[in-house]
Amino acid sequence: MNENFYITTAIDYVNGKAHIGHAFEKIITDVIYRHFKQRCDKTMFLTGTDEHGIKIQKTAKSLNISPMELCNQNVEAFQNSWKLLDINYDKFIRTTSHEHKEIVQKIFEKLLKQGDIYKHSYKGLYCNGCECFLNEKDLTEDGLCPNHLTKPEVVEEENYFFKLTKYKDAIINHIKSNPDFIIPSFRANEVLNQLENIEDISVSRSINNVSWGIPVLSDDSQIIYVWIDALSNYITALGYDPDKEEQNETFTTFWPASCQVIGKDILKFHSIYWIALLMALDLPLPKHILAHGWITIDETKMSKSLGNVLSPENILKSFELQKPDAFRYYISSCANCGKDGNYSDIDFKEKVNADLANNMGNLLNRSLNILVKYFDGEIKDEFIVEDEIIKTAKKTVNKVVENFDKFQVAEAAFEIMTLLNAANKYINDKAPWSLSKNGDLTQAGVVLYNVFEVMRYVSVLIYPYCPNIASNIAKQLKTNINIKLYDLDKNNIKAGKIITKDEITPVFLRLDSEFAQNKK
């Protein structure tokens, strides 16, 4: 596979700091991105921040600072969080940037000129949390927003509206004709049901009610509303310009997006609003929209009132983790594609101890120690004989690729652990320590070579999840971590000395239970 690959996340609203839910989305996106970098020639990963709207305006006022000051503070906090988690994005877009605002204004004027936007007086129920108007049928029995459990306010003003209904049939047809457009597929029916009673949507607010936003060029009484502003970031980041017939090389290289990763709560806006906007702009649609689930804390939905909102920084600090690999692995493997995941300290400790310390780390460590003890750390020519376990490794590569083609991150991790289980069984069955003691040194060497070859495959496959651990494995095996998956079987371990006693280091230390219980 040599196609170009462009992946995006939802841009985070900077009314607060990053929490584990934000981290979940960024980590699975980063894992997908790193995997496809192992397969594709040109790749791009976009993330960023959504910085306009009434919530930021009100929060800044309550703190007696300007909206821009609030944005700058929280954007820096988000970026620091992603750095801490080794989120390897190519571009970070801010909707307050001059480049973004200028293109958003052009997009608005283009849609207005061609009749896809019109002005209309409106009275409706507005949820500040969702930043959208709600229908009464969308509310709970108590008349509350189902997502934020707050009572929407009645808003009456003259706004610009986008003709969403004009594109209703085309969106329905696209979803039905492309069953893998929305992932997981069971979410498609939800979107189709939402489309049944879809209405035109407000795409501006009166400057008297919302002043913190991008002004409409042709009407200074209006501010461009969140959906055209925020959703357009995926193309403004590539330098799209609606006034140009020929777009720049970055845009033509990477659009349409290969995968747009978003939370299930904003699927409607991305699979309906965003798609309609792209249709109105006569642009290709993204190939896939991946709607992930939520992360609960000890089986309870995160809530500020419950005090269970966790930050990734606190988790790493709590377990004294210098690198984020264990957290990355746990979060990206805790939920099957599109399903909700759960975080608990106990489960985190048990899972990473079992998978990273025991299943992976201990296998490498004891195998290298046997090589040093009996062979002075050297692979001899006669050891290079492939057993069946190598075929299992090669099949695992195919299984991992198949899972990532469906953006099944946790499922791919399971296949890697299954390979490690097989490798542990292989070494236990073959017992190279016993073979060495009994004088069957060549056969013992063959077993060790096969284990190291499996670990070479594992280092590359696990790299998207655990880049630091994977690099450490490759370093100890004297192998190359930065290779394409299709070159894996061409870079086998060669004869020669690969390690000394002093070079053997644990790739992941166990989180011992006594420490974990007293860590708080």
- Count of residues in the chain: 520
DSSP class of residue 493? P
> Coil, strand or helix: which one is 107?
helix
Catalytic residue among 148, 425, 437, 494: 148
Residue 130 appears among annotated catalytic residues: yes
Contacts of 501 (CB under 8 A, 6+ apart): 369, 372, 377
Cβ neighbourhood burial of 177 (10 Å; 0-12, 13-18, 19+): exposed
Tokens 């909700």 correspond to: 340
Catalytic residue among 71, 127, 259, 337: 127
Mode of pairing for the β-strands spanning 295-297 and 341-343: parallel
> How far, in Å, CA of 171 to CA of 271, rounded?
8
Catalytic residue among 113, 119, 301, 395: 301
> Coil, strand or helix: which one is 157?
strand
Residue 337 appears among annotated catalytic residues: no
Q: Which of 65, 91, 112 is nearest to 11 (CA)?
A: 91
Cβ neighbourhood burial of 264 (10 Å; 0-12, 13-18, 19+): middle
Catalytic residue among 71, 130, 334, 337: 130
Q: How far is CA 8 from CA 82, 171, 186, 330, 436, in A?
A: 14, 21, 21, 21, 52
Residue 304 appears among annotated catalytic residues: yes
Catalytic residue among 71, 132, 145, 337: 145
Listing DSSP states for 345-395 in one string gives HHHHHHHHIIIIIIIIIIHHHHHHHHHHHHHTTEE-GGG----HHHHHHHH
DSSP bridge partners of 497: 378
Amino acid of residue 143: G
Q: How far is CA 404 from CA 294, 328, 332, 407, in A?
A: 20, 17, 12, 4
Judge contact between 447 and 432, C-beta under 8 A: yes
Catalytic residue among 98, 304, 490, 520: 304
**DSSP element (H, E) containing 435:** helix 432-437
Alpha carbon of residue 493 to chain centroid: 32
Q: How far is CA 458 from CA 314, 320, 411, 510, in A?
A: 29, 25, 15, 19
Q: Catalytic residue numbers?
A: 19, 22, 127, 130, 145, 148, 301, 304
